[in-house]
């Protein structure tokens, strides 16, 4: 991989992510249109698809952050009890020029962290007690800088949009497949053969759309993780600390019990260590940790990355 | 015919005028926004410096009973703080802040020799607060410098550079880092 310098990387990341999001919305429309066509109204299908997306987006927009925090069993950080953590969050917020996000603590010895909230004013950062205990102050600062970068770069809002689009596609195809399988079928198709062809297309879309949506979502997620790593290095001017923190988190044998498949992509290092989450390249939500560490170390000695 | 041609020319000039005036307004407002952000970033540094001044009396009060034989260090810290609070002008203030940082470092080096103090919860909390404050100060300065860079880049790139001077904007200076200040303590001109 060639190095483009920090600002080049950030620009490239933004460009690619925007393109991916556009493709995803197109895919949602296409799925709706194709499934709708099988029932006799492509426009109707399109409308239903976009309406489903809008409803899911509204839920995510106003409740998404709290839902994720509740799912992980976090508690509000206390200035006395979690003094260093609260301080580190406030320090990095100063470097980023955003109001300090609410800080939450997950009582779990596995080191990890995530950020949520639709914009810097509604942002929340959750950190496990394991992270605070196992990292030194510089490393903790680096991880917090990664999370604050997600907040400042509006990644949370962006990934929510992507997740909602993917969810809407899954919902639609699920519904359509069930309906077709239970023999409801399109009633309006006058010609049996044309109807059969339409059903075939609809089934194909129903199979392919969710899979390609997931692949795209994972690609967007990987881009945003890389961008957050680079932004964190820009904030702390100390990429080595983040590289070391990532290595420590990766090497830690503990399993984060609070995480599940739905919340896993939000964390700094994917906490779900099953085969499918880790091994399949196309569905990875995070770039391989070794790759992230290599990129961070290449910032210290320009041109050292291969 | 002639009247129509003249009208067209006038229209073109009017159009040009509107475009140039619009660009000037947008440029001016953009620069004012950046300058205000810059001033806000500068004010943030002062907020963090005050935070440090407020912490020091607490610290001195907490450790002084244990450190009866180290009154010099404590006096140094107290004096350095007083000098920093009353410093006039950026250059003098920068120097006073550097002295204060040095005095605090010395104090914590001495604390290392007192196991009771090292284990004291209040001292540990104050030490964490001061470490954090040092970080806040340097991050606030870094953020200020980031803003200076954005402001200066806008000012010095085409086409803004054509009118920035006329609109009354001048490039700002970067805040020199502590390391440079330590290398050449007398020469630094910190703003």
HEC states along A131-160? HHHHCCHHHHHHHHHHHHHHHHCCHHHHHH
Q: Which residue has the higher pLDDT, B1 or B81?
A: B81
Residue A276: pLDDT band with limits 50, 70, 90: very low
Note the pLDDT of residue B167. 86
Q: Residue A114 — φ and ψ, nearest 5°?
A: -150, 165
Is A254 an active-site residue?
no
pLDDT at A148 over 50: yes
Note the pLDDT of residue A3. 42
Give how far A272 is from chain B: nearest CA, Å: 33
Cis status, amide bond into A23, omega within 30 of 0:
no
Average pLDDT of chain A?
79
Q: Which of A302, A295, A159, A169 is nearest to A232 (CA)?
A: A295
Average pLDDT of chain B?
84
Partners of residue B140 in chain A, C-beta under 8 Å = 94
pLDDT at B16 over 90: yes
Give the C-alpha distances (Å, rounded to integers) separating B58 from A132, A225, B47, B48, B115.
26, 42, 18, 16, 19
Interface check for B177 against chain A (CB to CB < 8 A): the answer is no
pLDDT at A208 over 80: yes
pLDDT in tens, A89-140: 999 999 988 899 999 999 988 888 988 877 788 889 999 999 999 999 999 9
Tokens coding A20: 């991916």
**Of residues A83, A92, A95, nearest to B128 (C-beta):** A83
Distance in angstroms (rounded) separating the CA atoms of residues A301 and B8: 61
Tokens coding A4: 């483009």
Distance in angstroms (rounded) separating the CA atoms of residues B22 and B15: 11
Note the pLDDT of residue A146. 95
Q: Which of A139, A146, A118 is nearest to A226 (CA)?
A: A146
Instruction: Report, as an integer, the average pLDDT of A19-25.
Output: 74
Instruction: Report, as an integer, the average pLDDT of A74-88.
Output: 91
Note the pLDDT of residue A19. 75
Partners of residue B48 in chain A, C-beta under 8 Å = 94
Note the pLDDT of residue A204. 81
Q: Which of A9, A139, A147, A225 is catalytic?
A: A147
Tokens coding A142: 């680096």
Distance in angstroms (rounded) separating the CA atoms of residues B61 and B168: 49
pLDDT at A261 over 70: no
Query: Complex ipTM above 0.85?
Result: no
Note the pLDDT of residue B187. 32
Residue A184: pLDDT band with limits 50, 70, 90: low
* Nearest residue of B to residue A96, measured between CA atoms: B143
Residue B99 CB-half CA count within 13 A: 20
Any idea which residue has 């009247």 for tokens? Answer: B3
Q: Say what the pTM is.
A: 0.79
Distance in angstroms (rounded) separating the CA atoms of residues A131 and A126: 10
Distance in angstroms (rounded) separating the CA atoms of residues B132 and A227: 26
Partners of residue A90 in chain B, C-beta under 8 Å = 132, 136
Interface check for B39 against chain A (CB to CB < 8 A): the answer is no
CA dihedral B87, B92, B98, B99 (to 10 degrees): -60
Note the pLDDT of residue B189. 36
**Of residues A84, A94, A141, nearest to B143 (C-beta):** A94
pLDDT at A274 over 70: no
pLDDT at B182 over 60: no
pLDDT in tens, B79-127: 999 998 888 877 788 888 889 988 988 888 888 888 888 888 888 888 8
B window 108-167, beta carbon within 8 A of A: 125, 128-129, 131-132, 135-136, 139-140, 142-143, 146-147
Distance in angstroms (rounded) separating the CA atoms of residues B103 and B53: 13
Give how far A93 is from chain B: nearest CA, Å: 9
């Amino acid at each position: 991989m060639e190095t483009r310098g920090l600002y080049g990387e950030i620009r490239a990341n933004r460009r690619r992510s925007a393109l991916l999001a556009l493709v995803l919305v197109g895919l949602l429309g296409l799925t709706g249109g194709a499934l709708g066509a099988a029932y006799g109204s492509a426009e109707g299908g399109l409308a239903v698809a976009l309406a489903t997306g809008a409803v899911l987006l509204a839920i995510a927009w106003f409740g998404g952050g709290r839902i994720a925090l509740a799912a992980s069993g976090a508690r509000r950080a206390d200035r006395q009890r979690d003094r260093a953590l609260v301080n580190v969050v406030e320090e990095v917020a100063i470097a980023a020029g955003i109001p300090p996000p609410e800080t939450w603590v997950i009582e779990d010895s596995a080191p990890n962290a995530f950020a949520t909230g639709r914009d810097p004013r509604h942002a929340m950062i959750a950190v496990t007690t394991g992270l605070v205990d196992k990292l030194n102050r510089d490393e903790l600062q680096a991880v917090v800088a990664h999370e604050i970068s997600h907040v400042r770069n509006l990644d949370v809002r962006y990934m929510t949009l992507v997740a909602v689009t993917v969810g809407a596609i899954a919902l639609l195809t699920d519904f359509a497949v069930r309906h077709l399988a239970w023999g409801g079928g399109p009633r309006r198709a006058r010609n049996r053969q044309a109807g059969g062809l339409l059903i075939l297309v609809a089934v194909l879309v129903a199979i392919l759309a969710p899979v390609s949506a997931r692949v795209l979502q994972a690609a967007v997620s990987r881009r945003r993780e890389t961008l957050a790593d680079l932004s964190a290095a820009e904030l702390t001017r100390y990429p080595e600390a983040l590289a070391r923190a990532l290595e420590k988190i990766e090497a830690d044998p503990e399993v984060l019990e609070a995480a599940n498949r739905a919340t896993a992509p939000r964390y700094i290092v994917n906490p779900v260590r099953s085969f499918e989450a880790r091994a399949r390249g196309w569905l990875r939500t995070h770039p391989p940790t070794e790759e992230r560490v290599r990129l961070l170390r290449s910032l210290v000695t320009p041109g050292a990355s291969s | 015919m002639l009247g129509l041609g003249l009208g067209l020319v006038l229209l073109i000039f009017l159009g040009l005028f509107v475009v140039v005036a619009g660009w000037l307004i947008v440029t001016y407002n953009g620069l004012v926004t950046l300058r205000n952000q810059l001033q806000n970033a500068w004010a943030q540094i002062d907020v963090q410096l005050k935070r440090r001044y407020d912490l020091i009396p607490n610290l001195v009060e907490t450790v002084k009973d244990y450190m009866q034989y180290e009154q010099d260090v404590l006096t140094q810290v107290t004096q350095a703080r007083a000098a920093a609070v009353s410093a006039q002008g950026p250059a003098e203030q920068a120097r006073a802040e550097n002295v204060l940082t040095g005095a605090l470092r010395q104090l914590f080096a001495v604390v290392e020799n007192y196991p009771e103090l090292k284990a004291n919860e209040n001292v540990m909390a104050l030490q964490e607060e001061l470490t954090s404050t040092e970080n806040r100060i340097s991050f606030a300065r870094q953020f200020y410098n980031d803003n200076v860079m954005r402001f200066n880049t806008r000012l010095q790139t085409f086409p803004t550079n054509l009118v920035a001077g006329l609109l009354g904007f001048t490039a700002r200076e970067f805040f020199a880092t502590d390391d440079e200040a330590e290398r050449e303590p007398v020469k630094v001109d910190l703003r």
